[in-house]
Structure 1
Amino acid sequence: MADLLEAGSQPSEWVRNLTLVSALFLNLLSCLLPSDLCARAEKSIRFDIAAQPLASALETYSVVTRTQVVYNAKLTNGRQAVAIEGVYTPGVALALLLQGSGLAPRYMAQDAVVLVPVPKTSLLVDAASAALAMRYYALIQARMLRALCVDGRARPENYRFALSFWIGPDGRLGRVVLLDTTGEAERDAAIEQVIGRVSIGEPPPTGFAQPVTLVISPATPSEQSECQSALVERPIRASR
């Protein structure tokens, strides 16, 4: 999920305060190229997003389009999104939300996008660091989805939930903080227990900021079938 970083940025600034805003399932098997190099079949959707802080507008966009949006939270501080009303493709709507923000979308899958600063130079100094952070982010996604799908008490189906978590140097989650509730105390406890046992399998890369925040939204029937696919472990390879 990496592209050029803004001139003068440090790798730690890119990953600090990483915010993960996602739809239910996190598809990681598609394109890792910039959006103009990926064929993205998009259907138009009716949007009614009021003018508001960019961060909250992006969360609304994520829920409406079922698109996972990842960005450094510092990059949205103090930035406003214009109102979006009408029928647009998700790509056009996102471009409208981001206008004037200094951010640009880079698609890692048809329903997964990372926001990066619009590059002011062609320097690639921090590209490798960003690539490592994005690869680790993809690994987190795979481990989280598998853990939730394996346990019938926590399997994502018809609930919305939010939590933050920290990852220790051994790759295990050392602290989980619930930010929302599914509406059922028993299920909340099950999710917290399941997530607390997750091991990412390797330590975070240098400078990877924490906590990471995950928002899960209800799935459509077709998306629920992705749990079955998630039960099959697949290697995640570093980009070269």
Structure 2
Amino acid sequence: MAAASGASVQAQGTERRFEIPSQPLAQALSEFAGQTGLQMLYDAPLAAGRQSAPVSGTMSPRSGLALMLQGTGLSARFTSAGAVVIYASTTSTVTLNPLTAVAAPMVGRSQTDPVFIAYADTVRRTVSEAVRADDALTDAGYRLSIRLWVAANGAPDRAEILGGSGDASRDARFVERTRATMLPPPPEQLPQPMRIEFSVRARN
């Protein structure tokens, strides 16, 4: 795990001026850590062969890092300890045979902040894994969408069916499974609820 030294969690929300050109990603992350005091945690192979996007202007570290990671296939998760975890992400459909989470999640009030979108993708993948492990939820093909609220510690606070599968008992089980799935702590000011659609194929 590669890391660049960091300081406090307060650095996450303070706007500052960035002028970081496009360069090898590991170098860009190191420069970003030096400017913000945030600890960057990632497996070194993730950065290998990747080029950062340029970051120029006055913005928060969250927005700056999201901009830097555009086009790399990676996302960032800020922790309460003043660190940032860099991880591989997806930008569209997430496939977990036999479950596929489809369509970009619509987050709250039509916010398009890349940090919020990256977090919603993480939630979608985590819930997909949980559902995939439940044979009773993969015994038939169906579509279903949920509305989800997440507490500050990452615990699902509330989950509702937005568009049902046509089977009330299955829908209830899907909600129960979602609410039992611990998620990463959400970014500050995440507009909620998140709305996520799932398409499930019957297990062969």
The TM-score normalised by the length of structure 2 is: 0.45
Higher relative contact order (CA 8 A, sep 6+): 1
Q: Over alpha carbons, which structure has the higher Rg?
A: 2
Which protein is richer in strand relative to its size? Answer: 2
TM-score of the superposed pair, with normalisation by structure 1: 0.39
